[in-house]
Structure 1
Amino acid sequence: MQNIVQLINNFQVYILLGFLVLILILFILLITTNRSLNRLEKKYKRLMRGVNSTDLEELINSYLNKIDKTQENYKYMKDLYENLNKKFKKCIQKYSIIRYRAFEDVGSDLSFSIALLDENNDGIIITGIYGRNQSTTYAKPIDKGMSRYELSDEEKHVLNNCINN
């Protein structure tokens, strides 16, 4: 036992320096750990901002519920868009009109032909022929850009304008 005490007394300075170095190292570790903890605490506060409870599981579940609701809304909007797009394809998207003089003895260009077509070139041509004694209106269906009825030159012209524009 005396040998150990005498050995400690002989190396007392070195032991003290070793402990001081160890204390210094531990102090540096304490400072770096404290800084890391402060950064982590800031991140945690930023994550938990606007939340009354501090339960992280509850926060994650609320965000997952919001994601599920957003996905439901997205699906609803997508279905609505597809339905509207289908309906829109059948709406009049192209039109063309031409006015002309059907008879030489009638004054102005009072006769007309109108083509109204959808995206698939389905629709109708309406022709109004104005004469001095009478006025007549015709409607001819158009299916994929063609009519099963004979078209006048003016109707062909208005149909081609409508398809090409």
Structure 2
Amino acid sequence: MTDMNELILEQLPIIIFGILLIVLVLLIMMIVQTVKMRRLRKNYDNLMSSTGVEDLESLLFQLKVQMDSIEDMQAENKDEITKALTKLNQVQGKIGVKRYNAYGERGTDLSFSVAMLNEQSDGLVLTGLYNRDGSYVYAKPLKGGESTYSLSNEEKEAIVLAQQEA
């Protein structure tokens, strides 16, 4: 037993030096972690000071609510844009005009046919016939570029001109 005590006493400076070395390494690691923690805390405080919110959980919840609200608004806007585009395609935006002399050599190009169409070639053709005695205007409805009424060559040309419009 005395041999054991002597052995421990001989090794005691090495054991103490090893323990001190471990404590010193742990102390350095703790200082490094403290510096990192202070830097992280400073960044966190800077982030939280500009929001007016006390903790990060409340901030994240608030941002989630805002994001959900924005997504709902985006879906509503998408629906409104789709409706507007549908209505826009139904508007008579394509117009073709054909002027002509309806009575041959007697007169000038005062007669006309105007086709007003939407994207589906629905709309109408207005024809104005002018002569010395008066002026007559006729309207013919169109569905798919065709009418239930007979169309003159000039009215057909006006329809083609309107369909070619971009």
> Normalization by structure 1: what TM-score?
0.83
Tell me the residue number matched to 1:106. 107
Alignment of 1:5-154 (within 5 A): 6-38=6-38, 40-41=40-41, 44-45=44-45, 47-103=47-103, 104-107=105-108, 109-154=109-154
Q: Distance in 2 between matches of 1:37 and 1:79?
A: 48
Q: CA RMSD in A?
A: 2.5
Q: Distance in 1 between matches of 2:2 and 2:30?
A: 37
Change (3 A) 1:152 1:62: same
Deviations, residues 36-77 of structure 1 (Å, cap 9, x unaligned): 424543553465352223223322221122123213322322
Moved more, 38-47 or 124-133: 38-47
Structure 2: where are the runs of 5+ without partners? none
What letter corresponds to residue 33 of structure 2 in structure 1? T
Change (3 A) 1:47 1:4: farther
What letter corresponds to residue 156 of structure 2 in structure 1? K
How many residue pairs are counted as aligned between the two chains? Answer: 164
Deviations, residues 77-133 of structure 1 (Å, cap 9, x unaligned): 2232232223212211211111112222113x2111111001111000111111122
SS at match of 2:119: coil
The alignment-based identity, stated in percent, is: 34
